[in-house]
Amino acid sequence: MRSDLIKKGVDRTPHKALLKSLGLIDSEMNKPFIAVVCAASDYVPGHSHLHEISASVKDGIRNAGGIPFEFFTIGVCDGLAMNHKGMRYSLASRELIADSIEVMLTAHPLDGVVFIPNCDKIVPGMIMAAARMNLPSIFVSGGPMKAGCVQGKRVGYSEIYEAIGQYSNGEIDETVLKDYENNACPTCGSCSGMYTANSMNCLTEAIGLALPYNGTEPAVNSARRRIAKEAGERIVELYRQDIKAKDILTKDNMINALATDMAIGASSNTVLHLLAIAHEAGIDITLSDIDSVSRKVPQLAKLNPASDVFIEDLNAAGGIQTVLKELDKAGAINADVLTVTGTQKERLAGAKEADGIVVHKADSPIRKDGGIAILTGNLAENGSVVKQGAVKPEMMDTICTAKVFDGEQSAVDAILNGDIQPGDVVVIRYEGPKGGPGMPEMLAPTAAIVGKGLDGSVALITDGRFSGASRGAAVGHVSPEAAEGGLIAFVENGDKIHIDIPGRKIELLVSDEELANRKEKGILPPKELSGYLKRYAKMVTSSNTGAVYSD
């Protein structure tokens, strides 16, 4: 046992004395010590109930003969951090989470780990830590929020932002806006659509590090507690079988996750996180691999914010296992890979058949390629990302006129004030990993465009990123970013930009001679920073490598 480092031998008597101060008895010293890494928080809606999930996990560990030890991580709610300085800390928190878990699990050596995340950056941060520590590991999320109901219609979190645009247009009044405030987020849990949190929890299941239905079972259902208890029991068995995180975190499993990503039209943020996880696990995956998977894997599900189908509907239709079953039929995944409960093929044997409504059959997909596309061109030489499954058909191939903003808020103001017109492309720059810093999510501008009824005629391009709740012709993760001298830094008002999603191209239609003249002017100087953001900006790499720290 790894925990023998603190409980075996005469020279460990001081360590054992400290353990007994916790109430442990001699018989427990011979049992596996299991870490329970929980991201519970009193004011993050996706995490407010994780103490209950953790209690069920610990019950399961004890049922199976293990001894649980719980500790906690930080966790940023992207919704609460949105549109202010706090959003610059969201992506940056991912590295802090991974580092802090490494510290705790190295200083206090235990034999296995149950990870309990739920929201956006906590999930990938914990998977990165699992890869780094390479212990027997299993994940159990807190589960998604139920969909809200406003004016007789089911809604998710993104519709609240869109309602602001409708309010500014005079389409709804304060009473309706208050209805959104009171009823759009009715329960605890991660927000109810295929946003980043639910995307990552679904992909953790697809990778094989979590039990079936981990990604889709609603937070308030008793089945969520049973999954937690089963995960607690299962981690003890993984310890006994000596199955470690990197036995499951293989390239084939990661490609399965990418295929699932494309099939469910997941958040564009998954690209950042899967690249970072692959980097941590020593797996060679690039944007080219992601694009290759995107081109051949069909989209089988279209969920809110791209439709009125919610995570709870996917759960009722069979969840991620049903999606994987269809992908297996299409030859798009390797079902022989190992998971925390046998092989993926063994798990799929009991999965529901696709209903053809929530989960389409592989031979009659929503679209023949995946929900996410990688665009390259002179405006994004190292790549950019678009959630093509949430783009209107008329915006798939378009030439727009640039309206340029050196930051998010001025762009939001321009959209809400009516300064953005059909045929424009909103260019928001200096919001990348270094330039932001922290690559803040931009739900407000995308939602404002939708709320203004412009999502069929206005695009948005940024070196920042988007919320999983964003929809429309929104191209993010532009690399190189403006702060590193990427071409996005030299776009000017009135320039024409060609966005060709089917052709996977994004081009600034300006002559080389003119661009050379503009580049002589240089880029904006770095922002004055302090504290963690100052250190983060120095260490973080480009979005095309997952915005990981430089080696």
DSSP string, 249-288: S-HHHHHHHHHHHHHHT--THHHHHHHHHHHHHT----HH
Question: What H or E segment, with its residue span, contains residue 476?
Answer: strand 474-479
**Could you give the CA distance from residue 373 to residue 391 in angstroms, rounded to a whole number?**
11
Compute the distance between CA of residue 92 and CA of residue 85 in angstroms, rounded to an integer.
12
Candidate list 467, 479, 542, 543, residue with the active-site label:
467
Name the packing angle between helices 287-296 and 251-264 (round to 10°): 50
489-494 LR contacts (CB < 8 Å, sep 24+): 489/429, 489/430, 489/523, 489/524, 490/515, 490/518, 490/519, 491/379, 491/402, 491/404, 491/427, 491/429, 492/402, 492/404, 492/518, 493/402, 493/403, 493/404, 494/401, 494/402
Cα(195)–Cα(304) distance, rounded to whole angstroms? 8
Enter the tokens of residue 462: 């940024």
Q: Which residue has the tokens 């991201």?
A: 39
Whether 48 is catalytic is no
The angle subtended at Cα 158 by Cα 155 and Cα 162, nearest 5°, is: 95
Q: Which residues contact 269 (CB under 8 A, 6 or more apart)?
A: 120, 196, 199, 200, 441, 465, 466, 467, 468
* Beta-carbon contacts of residue 276 (< 8 Å; ≥ 6 apart): 94, 124, 128, 546, 547, 548
In eight-state DSSP terms, residue 549 is B
List the catalytic residues: 467
